[in-house]
Structure 1
């Protein structure tokens, strides 16, 4: 069987990644916990993923964007039908949404919000390292893996971390196409030829083509290996849904759900000692806009999955959707700092002391307490 140069280089990258961790064979083995953080870049509409069916304002705000056939979670909330495996995990008490959360940054810039979420600081801008790297630095003989083309801010820092990019079947990296889209869209002569080139690749310039399941499957293979990385990170783009949100999120949420299934199956027996944290930089407006989408907002949700999660319930302090309850009269008000969720997970799950979390992992965050009861006792 022949192998293209592209796939040969990709296969070599996997082997090189393993060689970057020469102490794998000397690690403590598979009897420790695992943490995977999944960042959905673009701002997931939490009201579309976990539907507040019991809120009397919801139907009027969403109108034609309302989710049909949502899967019941409890008397007040239901899950988007594309999240079928997540619903199964919820029934097994291994999946849980945490509602009305946001990073300390409460404005509406993707770049500033992502920077704030990844740095783990209260301030925006200027950070050179990320909170997940500082978690790894606080653990003895641990290392981290980012399934990405470049090292994200969340894993930059002194602790041992590396990146791995899975082989892609297409001739052009879709992430590169997405980044080039903004550049070409501003040129009246090149915008149309660029869109034609994207169409010829069978892709949409606004997002990935089922990359998330592949990335999460790859993370599982590495993290399930004897002495593999204890901490993993996966990112995914295409969650900025200003128009035609219904079909876009039906596809994207199905990819997330498939990715969670791939990770569950791939990590094997270590699932019982694993937590997956799915997060995003902010939410969307409560009301649908004129193009069938939603605009940048504040409050959103986090999703926790894994055998170590105390799931089967809806967590978080729901603020309500009436005009007086909305943030600035337009979007879900955040009632909890995302760092509270992160602290509630990594403190118990990775065994990091509270003082270390407050001072080093999330600097000067002593006033942000860890959310309780997220994990099994």
Structure 2
């Protein structure tokens, strides 16, 4: 018996899931002068930075997370005696040891308090502040970077997918096509959509058609990759093939980071995909990896306390991953705010101590020589770059 309460709850869950759905994954590319390369990976669904890079040296963490695994005793890999790398990012440890992997912690966009995936992702990709309503945020920050480069060949910028990424939308024209990607749904997701759309003929039929399309794309079309990381490997392989040519900027998204329940399974699977994407980029780029910077960022963090469903809810402060031969790795950047009473944002979230846009801005300045005033005034309007964190070699 489907009740109105169940439908409302299901619709809410569907809205959260949609923001992290693989159908929303797109890719963008651009050619600019020079040999340096920038890859931006948008992690849709709000990655829990305190799980990906665990501050186990802070005594407050265990009090907040009694059920989730914490630190080396929970299987994580120690990094520096204070932070530990989630066990499902363990394949990236050689990059950390080689100085090609770093993190920025306690970071966030200017987005606060409403905690909507869609609004948070729009603000992340727009690169703006809270001075305009979300629906008036026009254009993406990578597009504004291209406009600052007189020799950028914007006509070779592409958006690949069923939906254009805001991050490269704007005056610099972009061509578009749909990818050869797997649009599969888990049995649980199919059941949820069936319940949500049961009384809506239009959406019920559209969802059935989409499921049929997804089922028609076999695994052997995923460039030989198998398992849950197949899509991530394919995206990274294609991005590398372009970056080994004239392309110098690539952006794509990885979905599935929303971990309201069963976080250990959810984030473990997603971290495995992110790890696979980065390792694929490193291998496929070859010598060009030395001039590459990868920035993996998410719309917001998650609550410091775990909830009653072995997960975490939408939060504020989070973490950002940086990788590549151009990165000064082996470091967790940022000012740690602490997790004790009185140190959390609104007594629930990790307190942000720096704007995530500042790290992206300093990456642009180091990679492409972009003027600081242009970064603060046009690319990321309203941003205070602050001191150089020294994330690049």
Query: TM-score normalised to the size of structure 1?
Result: 0.82
Give the CA deviation at 1:165: 4.5
Question: Could you give the per-residue CA deviations for residues 277-325 of structure 1, whole angstroms, max 9, x where no partner exists?
Answer: 0000001111111111100000001111011101111101111111211
In the alignment, structure 1 residue 46 sits paired with structure 2 residue 59 = no
Q: Which residue of 2 aligns with 1:287?
A: 305
1:345 equivalent in structure 2 = 363
Whether 1:251 aligns to 2:269 is: yes
2:83 is the alignment partner of 1:77: yes
Task: Specify which of 265, 269, 280 is matched with residue 262 of structure 1.
Answer: 280
Q: Is 1:115 equivalent to 2:118 in the alignment? A: no
Q: Which residue is equivalent to 2:39? A: 36
Determine the structure 1 residue equivalent to 2:142: 132
Residues 368, 328 of structure 1: alpha-carbon distance in 2 compared, 3 angstrom cutoff: same
Deviation of 1:231 (Å): 0.8
Q: Is the 1:271–1:306 contact (alpha carbons within 8 Å) kept by the matching residues of 2? A: yes
Distance in structure 1 (CA, Å) of the matches to 2:102 and 2:53: 10
> Which residues in structure 2 correspond to 1:326-345 (within 5 Å)?
326-345=344-363
| DSSP 3-state at the match of 2:172 | coil
Alignment gaps of 5+ in structure 2? 1-26, 218-227
1:105 Cα deviation from its structure 2 partner: 0.8
Structure-2 separation of matches of 1:364 and 1:178:
43
Measured at CA, do residues 268 and 91 of structure 1 come closer, stay the same or move farther in structure 2, by a change above 3 Å? same
Q: Which residue of 2 aligns with 1:6?
A: none
Q: Aligned pair 1:217/2:220, yes or no? A: no
1:69/1:184 CA distance change after superposition, 3 Å: same
| Cα distance in 2, alignment partners of residues 234 and 339 from structure 1 | 17
Aligned residue for 1:8?
none
Identify if the C-alpha distance between structure 1 residues 179 and 291 changes in structure 2 by more than 3 Å, giving closer, same or farther: closer
Q: Distance in 2 between matches of 1:214 and 1:63?
A: 37
Distance in 2, Cα, partners of 1:160 & 1:233: 16
CA 359–243 in structure 1, closer or farther in 2 if over 3 Å, else same: same
CA RMSD of aligned residues (A): 3.2
Note the C-alpha offset of 1:142: 3.7
Change (3 A) 1:70 1:209: closer
1:82 alignment partner, SS class: helix
Count of equivalent residues: 341
Q: Residue 96 of structure 1 aligns with which residue?
A: 102
CA apart distance, 1:253: 0.4
Offset, 1:210? 3.7
Partners of 1:60 and 1:192 lie apart in 2 by 44
How far apart are residue 145 of structure 1 and its match? 4.0
Alignment check: 8 A CA contact 1:130 1:153 kept: yes
C-alpha distance in 2, partners of 1:215/1:180? 25
Q: Select the residue among 154, 170, 176 that pairs with 1:157.
A: 170
**1:86 correspondence with 2:78:** no
C-alpha deviation, 1:163, in angstroms: 4.2
Matching residue of 2:338: 320
Conserved? CA contact 1:342–1:370, under 8 Å: no
Q: SS of the residue aligned with 1:277?
A: strand
Structure 1 residues 148 and 216: CA distance shift in structure 2, 3 A:
farther
The 8 Å contact of residues 59 and 66 in structure 1, kept in 2 or not, is answered as no
Instruction: Answer yes or no: is the 8 Å Cα contact 2:362–2:385 preserved in 1.
Output: no
Find the residue that maps to 2:296 and give its secondary structure. strand
Q: Matched residues in 2 for 1:164 and 1:98: separation?
A: 34
Instruction: State the secondary structure of the residue aligned to 2:320.
Output: strand
Deviations 1:225-275 (A, max 9, x none): 2x2x21110112111110001011111101110111111111121111110
Q: Secondary structure at the match of 1:96?
A: strand
CA distance in 2, matches of 1:323, 1:64: 20
Distance 1:248 1:70 in 2: 16
Q: How many Å separate the matches in 1 of 2:112 and 2:388?
A: 20
| Closer/same/farther in 2, CA of residues 120 and 236 from structure 1, 3 Å limit | same
Structure 1 portions without partners, runs of 5+ = 1-16
